[in-house]
Chains A and B, each alone.
Chain A
Amino acid sequence: MTRTDMTCRETVIRLLDYLEGRLQTGESRALEDHLDVCPRCMQFLEAYRRTPEIVRRCTDAKAQPALTKRLRRIFAK
């Protein structure tokens, strides 16, 4: 794949592998070259990269004391 060949679709397909450092050097460069000329893909990448941390923060939770009490009673069964 040449440096100017990568499309937006091909970029999006490779995002996870790119962020985890799994792309071959040539593919990684081709993706970065596409990002250099495609601000939409750059924004998409940033949104994709941030998604897990946002969802993680918003869905964080802790067990309530009442549940802890019930769990401890399991031992007595």
Chain B
Amino acid sequence: MRRSPVPRPTDVEGAIPDAVLIDGARRGDRAAFDQLITRYQHRTYRLALRLTGNGADAEEVTQDAFLQVFRKLTTFRGRSRFSTWLYRVVTNAALMHRRTSRRRPTESLDQYLPEFTSNGRHKRIDIDYAAVARVEDTVKRSELTRLLFQALSRLPPGLRVAVVLRDLEEVPAAQVAAILGIDERALRQRVHRARLMLRGVLGSVAGSGPR
């Protein structure tokens, strides 16, 4: 019996479930695959960019990820959400890309972690922690963007992936933990440490010193 093609796109995102589009793409329905691309291309590219730090690498990673997804559609069983699977593919592709890339910033962001005295008080009393809240008003957007992508690149891979997926892509903690193969407590520790470093970077950019 002939199966009808996947319905045309509607104005409401998600009106056609991913499972229907995936099934269509598996059967050779080009429109179904195109709809998957339309639905996920921007978040895939954005995730790749946040993980790799530059546009050229992000485009390669995005292409690699979609190619992998297309080739493995028949093996996707629907036990997890399609988005979880896609994020896992993009994350692994980005990490693999960095391993083979010559671009490898090595300077640590540990200097941006807060320091404390022996009795547990903030060590640097000259730092204005409130400056972070004003940083978008005081620093040119293009410079802030450049510095933040640089900072993300300098995070250790485990911290970078955790904070990008959880804090920036706002993927639920349970999904991120599943993608990374760690428990949620370990995820929170990584996110916390990465966020402390990024806060420190923002503080430094805002002119309040590295800590």
Contacts and interface: CB of A to CB of B under 8 A. Distances in A.
Interface of A: 7-10, 12, 15-17, 20, 40-41, 43-44, 46-48, 50-52, 54-63, 67-68, 70-72, 74-75, 77
8 contacts: A44-B122, A47-B132, A51-B132, A51-B202, A57-B136, A59-B50, A59-B145, A59-B168
Contacts of A51: 132, 167, 195, 198-199, 202
A57 to B, nearest CB: 7
Interface of B: 25, 30, 33-34, 37, 41-42, 44-46, 49-50, 55, 58-59, 62-63, 66-67, 70, 114, 116, 119-122, 125, 128-133, 135-136, 141, 144-145, 148-149, 152, 163, 167-168, 170, 188, 191-192, 195-196, 198-199, 202-203
B145 A44 contact: no
A19 to B, nearest CB: 10
B116 A9 contact: yes
Contacts of B191: 16
Summarize A's interface: helix, strand, loop or mixed: helix
Contacts of B122: 8, 40-41, 44
